[in-house]
Chain A
């Protein structure tokens, strides 16, 4: 067990991680988040994606201690129903989802994309989401939603 301190969604947190546990174990376990999800444990689906110092990272394979002293953002940190992130507003407007299991990871990657490239085209959005799997077939709505958010943020 090691106590790991870091910034989670803008607030300082500290939690005890079991030796060898991943950041996902820490986030879903002692920190009781729901947004980052287990999908494969092998960086192959993107369901667990979080931002580590603003960059997308697979929480399922990242050792918990790698977060020490750094800033972690999950979908919970993007926005709330009262103050949604433009992406969250756009995903609702486009009804971009069916089961929704993949969405928190996708939203997090899309947020990193828009931070780096505020006016992506559809190809750039698809490239940024290539590592994310969606089984329900919501891809086209998701791409439209990201483009809508980009347009709104630029306006």
Chain B
């Protein structure tokens, strides 16, 4: 038997829990709050198993060297990895403490119940966590074996407790990293090269605002001052004095699919099964090439970090998704043993994947190294937020599928080309920070990888359809030149793959003369996928959906990563001058929901982000630089454009919980594409689905 989730790598019970003062339970997870509500969900799990009121649980932000190393808060895995560990550890601590209380009091353990942390025997209290759980008691490793409560006994898990972090955010109290003010803290701003490939020819001398100074290391330029405003003005002056030689290095934005098809790549077979059937020449067949553009994270907040070098040690405050991974790459970049680097997590604005959080932390540290003993706060501009971090990479997805004489999907061939979807720190021998190539000497830029399929894959995520198919082959070609930094964004390859697969499914249904919903339901191999799709269709009134000029309905379904949550979507669109998504119905099966309202919030959020991606978003660049550096140039969905969204969770009490954050993204893009085809009779092969894309396809 093995330990569940992150306990495997972090078995020490005292690493997860402490009872530091009367009435307080300190929970120390290795996962971080990124706007998804994980702190609340983990506190619920802990409160449930310990039998304490949730209000007693304090969650400690991750600090490297102190918190368990749970690597990266990503992949919709926090409830699975951290939740399972917290549940098991809390249950074991409960059992240990109960037996100590029993021993001390002479009351048999089965006669003791726990009420809000107090152990009650037949004659009254016989102790509490706070009287029993002194440090040495929990300095022991967790042991395998089930002790956690059965689902039927749960009272806190499965209820929609309010988010513990929202009050601070609604009352404007300091909570974000951006709000931290430390004594003597300096402010910094970067001065970036004007093109993706640029050489610093010269930097003219000149005065800076009072108290401001330049930090230069190779082509890495930054301004530092006592105030933010002074740093901004100093950075503007330095930028004007820098002379750069720039070169073309970016692909032709007008023919991304052609670039991806011809660029050097490493091919691997993602899946292959079944014998290629002998189909007649005129077998009903779909062959299409789909093109997904580069997409930006486009958080409303900007990346920010604090850093201080003192006595050969580096301390960083970061909104990174992976504090330990960031520490590893900082140690590499600065030639320090990891133990001399401390990364403290503080919340940033919404994080949807590998954004610039790690980059800005590295940059702050480069600057802080020049001013030992002082805290340096570096904050990005809006333009940097939209151009300096990694992006969701462009994808070319070619699919060929055919039906046999019975209307079964006899053949499926897919070829996926694009950069890898992971450039995260902590996984390579060299630091991966974007600005590391600017230093003197520079670190060579890394090329993004795809995580192994067992870990969900990257470009190949959700590339294998969940439908009954005769012969299937999916090949992934990872492009090995990376002119635009690529990494993970909510859904990774699923954004493009689910869109492409669900479009082809609709086209096959049309060839078979069947309703797209019925066609899917007959061929879905997984009953939980079918149940979710049926539920979403029922919510949308699929059978009696309205027919009107410009109105279209589409459906789609996928199980995220093939191992995560199931989500089905039905979209209603209205095609006028532009396409609008007017309504969405989502049905998700996330196993047991720890906090149903929180899960629905995440599913709806993912869906609305997917509407924005599907209808509006595309990184714009010329051959030298990314041009979409403002909200005007990179528009996202606005209040007036947001669809009504109805979300239902399948009732799966007792089933293992699954993450909800990314499950809706792919199905929503697919459902919108199919709704557009329903309304306009045109199949779109490229995102975003703008008037321009539609006109080009007609």
Whether A29 contacts B640 by the Cβ 8 Å rule is: no
Whether B172 contacts A74 by the Cβ 8 Å rule is: yes
Minimum distance in angstroms from B293 CB to a CB of chain A: 18
Chain A 46-81: CB-based contact to B (< 8 A → 1; otherwise 0)? 010000000000000000000000000011100111
State in angstroms the CA–CA spacing of A47 and B36 once bound together. 19
**Which A residues are CB-close (under 8 A) to B169?**
97, 99-101, 103-104
Q: Among B167, B229, B607, B608, which residue has its beta carbon within 8 angstroms of that of A20?
A: B229
Chain A 80-100: CB-based contact to B (< 8 A → 1; otherwise 0)? 110010001001100101111
Whether A33 contacts B300 by the Cβ 8 Å rule is: no
A34 within 8 A of partner (CB): yes
Residue of B nearest to A82 (CB): B171
A137 within 8 A of partner (CB): yes
Interface residues of B in 220-258 (CB under 8 A from A): 227-230, 233
Whether A40 contacts B228 by the Cβ 8 Å rule is: no
B35 within 8 A of partner (CB): yes
A25-B35 contact, Cβ under 8 Å, with A88-B171, A97-B166: no
Q: Tell me the number of A-to-B contacts counted with CB atoms below 8 Å.
A: 175
Whether A29 contacts B227 by the Cβ 8 Å rule is: yes
Minimum distance in angstroms from B617 CB to a CB of chain A: 11
Minimum distance in angstroms from B451 CB to a CB of chain A: 24
Whether A42 contacts B300 by the Cβ 8 Å rule is: no
**Which B residues are CB-close (under 8 A) to A45?**
300, 382, 631
B550 within 8 A of partner (CB): no
Whether A141 contacts B601 by the Cβ 8 Å rule is: yes
**Which B residues are CB-close (under 8 A) to A97?**
163, 166, 169-170
A140-B638 contact, Cβ under 8 Å, with A99-B35, A104-B172: no
**Which B residues are CB-close (under 8 A) to A81?**
167, 171
Q: Most A CB atoms within 10 A — which of B227, B630, B642?
A: B642
Minimum distance in angstroms from A30 CB to a CB of chain B: 9
Minimum distance in angstroms from A10 CB to a CB of chain B: 15
A38-B302 contact, Cβ under 8 Å, with A88-B170, A100-B169: yes
Chain A 13-43: CB-based contact to B (< 8 A → 1; otherwise 0)? 0000010111001001100111111111110
A130 within 8 A of partner (CB): yes
B299 within 8 A of partner (CB): yes
Chain B 265-305: CB-based contact to A (< 8 A → 1; otherwise 0)? 00000000000000000000000000000000011111000
State in angstroms the CA–CA spacing of A37 and B347 once bound together. 14
A143 within 8 A of partner (CB): yes
Of the four ranges (under 10, 10 to 19, 20 to 34, 35 or more), the interface on chain A belongs to 35 or more
B632 within 8 A of partner (CB): yes
State in angstroms the CA–CA spacing of A146 and B642 once bound together. 16
Whether A18 contacts B230 by the Cβ 8 Å rule is: yes
**Which B residues are CB-close (under 8 A) to A21?**
229
Q: Most A CB atoms within 10 A — which of B229, B300, B642?
A: B300
State in angstroms the CA–CA spacing of A55 and B481 once bound together. 51
Q: Among B170, B351, B642, which residue has its beta carbon within 8 angstroms of that of A92?
A: B170
Whether A34 contacts B230 by the Cβ 8 Å rule is: no
Of the four ranges (under 10, 10 to 19, 20 to 34, 35 or more), the interface on chain B belongs to 35 or more
Whether A99 contacts B382 by the Cβ 8 Å rule is: no
Whether A140 contacts B349 by the Cβ 8 Å rule is: no
**Which B residues are CB-close (under 8 A) to A4?**
none
Residue of A nearest to B349 (CB): A101
Residue of A nearest to B180 (CB): A34
State in angstroms the CA–CA spacing of A135 and B166 once bound together. 16
Q: Among A18, A39, A135, A137, which residue has its beta carbon within 8 angstroms of that of B227?
A: A18
Minimum distance in angstroms from B76 CB to a CB of chain A: 14
B609 within 8 A of partner (CB): yes
State in angstroms the CA–CA spacing of A34 and B352 once bound together. 23
State in angstroms the CA–CA spacing of A99 and B606 once bound together. 13
State in angstroms the CA–CA spacing of A104 and B685 once bound together. 40
Whether B636 contacts A139 by the Cβ 8 Å rule is: no
**Which B residues are CB-close (under 8 A) to A18?**
227, 229-230
B197 within 8 A of partner (CB): no
Residue of B nearest to A91 (CB): B170
Whether B632 contacts A44 by the Cβ 8 Å rule is: yes
Minimum distance in angstroms from B485 CB to a CB of chain A: 20
Whether B609 contacts A135 by the Cβ 8 Å rule is: yes
A138-B300 contact, Cβ under 8 Å, with A20-B233, A74-B172: no
Whether B298 contacts A135 by the Cβ 8 Å rule is: yes
**Which B residues are CB-close (under 8 A) to A111?**
none
**Which A residues are CB-close (under 8 A) to B302?**
38-39
B80 within 8 A of partner (CB): no
State in angstroms the CA–CA spacing of A91 and B299 once bound together. 21
Minimum distance in angstroms from B35 CB to a CB of chain A: 3
Minimum distance in angstroms from B292 CB to a CB of chain A: 19
State in angstroms the CA–CA spacing of A127 and B631 once bound together. 18
Whether B638 contacts A136 by the Cβ 8 Å rule is: no
A–B Cβ pairs within 8 angstroms, 9 of them:
A29-B229, A32-B181, A81-B171, A92-B167, A99-B349, A100-B35, A101-B35, A133-B636, A136-B609
What are the 8 A-B residue pairs with the smallest beta carbon separation, nearest first? A35-B172, A100-B169, A99-B35, A137-B608, A137-B605, A99-B350, A101-B349, A75-B172
Task: Give 16 new A-B contacts, CB below 8 A, not counting A29-B229, A88-B171, A92-B170.
Answer: A34-B174, A34-B175, A35-B171, A37-B176, A38-B379, A42-B630, A45-B631, A91-B166, A92-B166, A98-B36, A99-B299, A135-B299, A136-B609, A137-B609, A140-B608, A140-B642
